[in-house]
Amino acid sequence: MPIRVLIVDDSAVVRRTLTEMLSRDPEIEVVGTAMDPFIARDKILQLNPDVLTLDIEMPRMDGLTFLRLLMKHRPMPVIIMSSLTPAGSEYALEALQAGAVDVMAKPGGSFSVCEDGARLADKIKAAAQARIRRPRLPSPAPATFPTQVSAPAPPPPPRPPAGKIRTAGRRYSPRQLILMGASTGGTEALKTVLTALPPDLPGILIVQHIPAQFSLAFANRLNELCRLEVREATDGLRVTPGMVLIAPGGFHMLVRWAGDHYVVSTNLGPPVHHQRPAVDVLFDAAVRAGAGPTSAAALLTGMGSDGAAGMLALRSAGAATVAQNEETCVVYGMPREAVRMGAAQVVLPLEQIPAWLNRQADRVALRSV
């Protein structure tokens, strides 16, 4: 049976565009549309959709409020369709924290019906497989729908990453790296891992499948939460201990050895596994750079197989490797493929991965001070 989708957006143009895009995929059926959350509530009860696409900024009730109500009373897979403004990016991150499965930019002037329609269809298929849990909300949602809800105050603009004060700790060979890859459900999984890590770690490189417009806000948000310094990677940036570099959306991230340190580079090479950035591109570059014997790699929640082959190459080169277990994944796709291929030395629940990474870093540290 096709995946049943309900589109919720106040723009008739967007509703029509998304319907036309998704109708091209025989595995997806748009069963209805709604111009606001009140109509959406009734249509969810009437049509029982499998997946919702949800706008953030709507009349009568904003999408974020509706999402929180939905996750409390009728949890289901939701994909956020967000504007490309800084406020839109911040709202999208709030929505992911509130339980949305994924985020995508709303149709605009540069929107491609074929390319972006296929990408949205892939996200819907991943969302239909997602393990949905009620998130831990910062404040209880109201028990019933209010009659009118004004739009939320715009979130403050993201602060630029600031330097962190790094305390003395372990010393590392400049060859050491920690590498991570994630996709569907990965923004929250990465937050769980990174906020639990100490600041005295080797350089950390991460590929998260995320639209180009949202990766900077994601990196800035993590930087505010973590003891490590988190940045969106830029071409030519040096990798240093205590720093986390997030691949910019829309660009592959690679790493190379530059005499006595690593440097990252970004490019617009062809998508790999339909992704750019792709985890395999980073992992393969790390193998070529000689990072295998002193590095650790983790593959987290996500649909598809990106990262599995690269992780196998890393393990063959001497790296320690871990995959997130099925029970804690939103979508057990990428980690499952890594396990199937023998790329993962160990399989752990998400909450145990930070301690494992810390132990692997300590295992090859030059010394403790």
For 167, other C-beta atoms within 10 Å of its C-beta total 10
Q: What's at 190, amino acid-wise? A: L
Enumerate the active-site residues. 183, 209, 306
- Per-residue pLDDT 10s for the chain (369 aa) are 999 999 999 999 999 999 999 999 999 999 999 999 999 999 999 999 999 999 988 888 999 999 999 999 999 999 999 876 667 788 889 999 999 999 998 876 555 556 778 889 999 999 999 998 765 544 444 444 554 444 555 554 444 444 554 545 678 888 999 999 999 999 999 999 999 999 999 999 999 999 888 999 999 999 999 999 999 999 999 999 999 999 999 999 999 999 999 999 999 999 999 999 999 999 999 999 999 999 999 999 999 999 999 999 999 999 999 999 999 999 999 999 999 999 999 999 999 999 999 999 988 776 433
Residue the block writes with tokens 């009730």? 61
Shared-domain flag, residues 102 and 236? no
Shared-domain flag, residues 184 and 123? no
* Residue 166 is assigned to a structural domain of this protein: no
Shared-domain flag, residues 235 and 356? yes
Shared-domain flag, residues 218 and 358? yes
Beta-carbon contacts of 177 under 8 Å, excluding residues fewer than 6 positions away, are 202, 203, 204, 205, 239, 255, 262, 286, 291, 294, 295, 296
* Residue 206 is assigned to a structural domain of this protein: yes
Shared-domain flag, residues 229 and 328? yes
Q: In what helix (H) or strand (E) does residue 194 lie, and over which residues does it extend?
A: helix 186-195
Specify the 3-state DSSP secondary structure of 241: coil
Domain boundary among 113, 128, 143: 128
* Residue 240 is assigned to a structural domain of this protein: yes
* Residue 186 is assigned to a structural domain of this protein: yes
Shared-domain flag, residues 188 and 275? yes
Domain boundary among 128, 148, 164: 128
Shared-domain flag, residues 207 and 67? no
* Residue 31 is assigned to a structural domain of this protein: yes
Let me know: does 349 contact 320? Beta carbons within 8 Å.
no
Shared-domain flag, residues 182 and 121? no
Shared-domain flag, residues 211 and 349? yes
User: Would the pTM count as exceeding 0.85?
Assistant: yes
CATH code, domain carrying 188: 3.40.50.180
CATH code, domain carrying 123: 3.40.50.2300
Shared-domain flag, residues 121 and 182? no
Let me know: does 260 contact 231? Beta carbons within 8 Å.
no
* Residue 152 is assigned to a structural domain of this protein: no
* Residue 46 is assigned to a structural domain of this protein: yes
Q: Please tell me the distance from the alpha carbon of residue 330 to that of residue 187, in angstroms, as a whole number.
A: 11
* Residue 368 is assigned to a structural domain of this protein: no
Shared-domain flag, residues 237 and 105? no
Shared-domain flag, residues 202 and 325? yes
Give the count of domains, the chain. Answer: 2
Domain boundary among 94, 128, 162: 128
Q: Which domain holds residue 351?
A: 178-363
